């Protein structure tokens, strides 16, 4: 099922026509479970999915399609017995108007909008993503730019959100242009799932703006091979062929991609199209996402399972973004693991702990991996 509108390739049309309610999903022909229906009826959780991404979910009407887990809310998200509202302390360490976080010495993450094209159910910023569904105010943007201008050690600015590419190219240019005029700013980059959730956003106008102001790389967020569609490849080609480096960051998610053949297929496909598989993350310790979390052992096993059996540059770095604001920390920095508590030392030499939920699924466990129990094509081929 795929009803193509004449405006299908208009990224603004994709944003305007996102599925947000039960009626929207039913109109799109999505076969919903009782669980999904109950959540959507109550409108308990912020939800929006582009028509494009819905078309990937609806193919075959398969309730085990891993992509639906990324986009359609379930009752499991109301479980707050595990995790924290802001595990990475982004708000705690946020500066001034909470528009950015200056955690690492030479770079900041600027939250220029809280809008996403599709709201990922495992999102680290689920506490505020979609809160207003619009960009930050001009006063907030100016506050961030002023901070960067008067802080010489900041050489790298990440525009994130939300998703910055839900903003118009002209509006983005008004943020990027003054940043580019600051002598000590060397890198301006964008974090966006647009190549995944509405690849038509990666148009030539956007690419031209990025080239003009030297905006690179673009960090994106593919989590499964099914997302690397012809439309996504066209978007990636447009970026790569215009000299814009693309990095990918993938969280390890239970019953979505916690399977070495699935991960290998994803990373090999991305590498073939010029995208660097940069990080493979342990799922963040976020309230409402315990059903996505795998054990830390699963992350280690996934990383080890990729070593040597595929091209080196198709193997991402395995990382845990440790709770408490310690930052992205490689699994090599694990100092101990006792039960469901893993201790790591971060880049500052400080110790932090990551707590797995109880009964976290392991890697390639036939009891917990839908790909093995449902015999998906990827596992069958491997």
List the catalytic residue out of 69, 121, 125, 265: 125
- Whether residue 35 lies inside any domain: the answer is yes
- Whether residue 107 lies inside any domain: the answer is yes
Q: Is the CB of residue 94 less than 8 Å from the CB of residue 100?
A: yes
- Whether residue 113 lies inside any domain: the answer is yes
List the catalytic residue out of 180, 328, 337, 350: 328
Residue finishing a domain among 51, 78, 105? 78
Domain housing 322: 94-381
- Whether residue 53 lies inside any domain: the answer is yes
| Residue 232 shares a structural domain with residue 322 | yes
| Residue 142 shares a structural domain with residue 56 | no
Match 């991996």 to its residue by tokens: 369
Query: What integer is the mean pLDDT of 168-185?
Result: 98
Active site residue 116: yes
Residue 173 or residue 38, greater confidence: 173
Active site residue 62: no
| Residue 226 shares a structural domain with residue 107 | yes
Active site residue 123: yes
Active site residue 125: yes
Active site residue 379: no
Structural domain total, the chain: 2
* Residue-by-residue DSSP string for 151-170: -TT--EEEEESS-GGGS-HH
DSSP helix/strand/coil, 120: coil
The mean-pLDDT minimum among 82-86, 173-177, 262-266, 363-367 falls in 363-367
The mean-pLDDT minimum among 14-23, 82-91, 178-187 falls in 82-91
Residue 237 or residue 358, greater confidence: 237
Model confidence band, residue 65 (pLDDT cutoffs 50, 70, 90): confident
- Whether residue 274 lies inside any domain: the answer is yes
Which residues face 246 on adjacent strands?
218, 275
Q: Is the CB of residue 46 less than 8 Å from the CB of residue 145?
A: no
Residue finishing a domain among 52, 78, 104? 78
Q: Is the CB of residue 100 less than 8 Å from the CB of residue 79?
A: no
Per-residue pLDDT tens over the stretch 79-115: 888 876 666 666 665 555 568 988 899 999 999 999 9
| Residue 57 shares a structural domain with residue 130 | no
**Token pair of 217 as six digits:** 């790389």
List the catalytic residue out of 69, 70, 116, 226: 116
Strand ranges, E, within 87-214: 94-95, 100-101, 107-111, 156-160, 187-191
Per-residue pLDDT tens over the stretch 25-53: 999 888 888 889 988 987 667 899 999 99
List the catalytic residue out of 111, 123, 216, 369: 123
pTM of the entire predicted model: 0.91
- Whether residue 89 lies inside any domain: the answer is no
The CA distance from 284 to 282, in Å, is 6
Q: How would you classify the pairing of strands 275-282 and 187-191?
A: unpaired
- Report which secondary-structure segment, H or E, holds 189: strand 187-191
Percent of the chain predicted with pLDDT > 90: 63
Helix 169-180 vs helix 204-212: crossing angle, to nearest 10: 10
Per-residue pLDDT tens over the stretch 112-158: 999 999 999 988 776 666 577 889 999 999 999 999 999 999 999 99
- Spacing of C-alpha 381 from chain mean position: 27
Of 321, 300, 251, nearest in space to 101 by CA: 321
List the catalytic residue out of 111, 255, 284, 371: 284
Model confidence band, residue 59 (pLDDT cutoffs 50, 70, 90): low
Per-residue pLDDT tens over the stretch 325-375: 888 999 999 999 998 999 999 999 999 999 998 754 444 443 445 544 455
Q: How many residues make up the chain in this entry?
A: 382
| Residue 328 shares a structural domain with residue 280 | yes
Residue 367: what pLDDT? 40
Residue 287: what pLDDT? 83
Q: Is 309 exposed, middle or buried (0-12, 13-18, 19+ CB in 10 A)?
A: exposed
| Residue 136 shares a structural domain with residue 277 | yes
| Residue 230 shares a structural domain with residue 367 | yes
Active site residue 321: yes
- Whether residue 84 lies inside any domain: the answer is no
Residue 371: what pLDDT? 47
List the catalytic residue out of 114, 247, 321, 376: 321
Active site residue 180: no
| Residue 167 shares a structural domain with residue 51 | no
| Residue 117 shares a structural domain with residue 25 | no
Residue 376: what pLDDT? 60
| Residue 208 shares a structural domain with residue 153 | yes
| Residue 33 shares a structural domain with residue 138 | no
Q: What is the DSSP letter of 357?
A: P
Strand ranges, E, within 72-172: 94-95, 100-101, 107-111, 156-160
| Residue 192 shares a structural domain with residue 299 | yes
The CATH number given to whatever domain includes residue 132 is 3.20.20.70
Active site residue 104: yes
- Whether residue 29 lies inside any domain: the answer is yes
Residue 369: what pLDDT? 53
List the catalytic residue out of 62, 104, 238, 297: 104
Per-residue pLDDT tens over the stretch 289-325: 898 999 999 999 999 999 999 999 999 999 998 988 8
């Amino acid at each position: 099922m795929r009803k193509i509108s004449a405006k299908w390739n208009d990224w603004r049309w994709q944003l305007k026509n996102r599925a947000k309610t039960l009626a929207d999903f039913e109109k799109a022909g999505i076969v919903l479970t009782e669980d999904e229906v109950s959540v959507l009826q109550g409108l308990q959780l912020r939800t929006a999915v582009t028509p494009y991404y819905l078309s990937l979910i609806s193919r075959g009407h398969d309730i085990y399609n891993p992509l639906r887990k990324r986009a359609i809310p379930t009752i499991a998200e109301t479980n707050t017995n595990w995790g924290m509202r802001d595990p990475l302390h982004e708000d705690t360490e946020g500066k001034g108007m909470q528009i950015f976080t200056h955690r690492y010495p030479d770079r900041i993450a600027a939250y220029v909008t809280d809008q996403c094209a599709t709201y990922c159910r495992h999102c680290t910023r689920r506490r505020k993503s979609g809160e207003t569904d619009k960009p930050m105010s001009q006063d907030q943007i100016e506050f961030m730019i002023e901070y960067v201008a008067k802080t010489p050690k900041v050489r790298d600015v990440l525009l994130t959100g939300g998703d910055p590419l839900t903003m118009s190219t002209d509006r983005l240019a008004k943020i990027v242009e003054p940043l580019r005029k600051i002598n000590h700013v060397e890198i301006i980059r964008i974090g966006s799932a647009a190549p995944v959730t509405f690849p038509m956003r990666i148009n030539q106008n956007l690419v031209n703006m990025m080239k003009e102001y030297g905006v690179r790389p673009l960090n994106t967020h593919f989590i499964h091979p099914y997302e690397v569609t012809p439309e996504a490849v066209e978007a990636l080609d447009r970026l790569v062929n215009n000299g814009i480096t693309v990095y990918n960051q993938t969280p390890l998610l239970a019953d979505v991609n916690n399977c070495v053949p699935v991960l290998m297929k994803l990373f090999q496909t991305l590498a073939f199209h010029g995208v660097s598989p940069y990080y493979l993350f342990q799922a963040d310790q976020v309230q409402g996402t315990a059903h996505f979390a795998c054990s830390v052992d699963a992350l280690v096993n996934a990383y080890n399972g990729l070593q040597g059996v595929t091209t080196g540059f198709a193997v991402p770095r395995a990382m845990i973004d440790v709770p408490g604001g310690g930052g992205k920390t490689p699994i090599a920095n694990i100092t101990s693991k006792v039960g469901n508590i893993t201790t790591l030392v971060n880049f500052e030499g400080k110790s932090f702990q990551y707590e797995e939920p109880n009964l976290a699924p392991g890697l390639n466990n036939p009891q917990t991996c839908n790909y093995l129990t449902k015999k998906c094509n990827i596992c069958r081929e491997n």
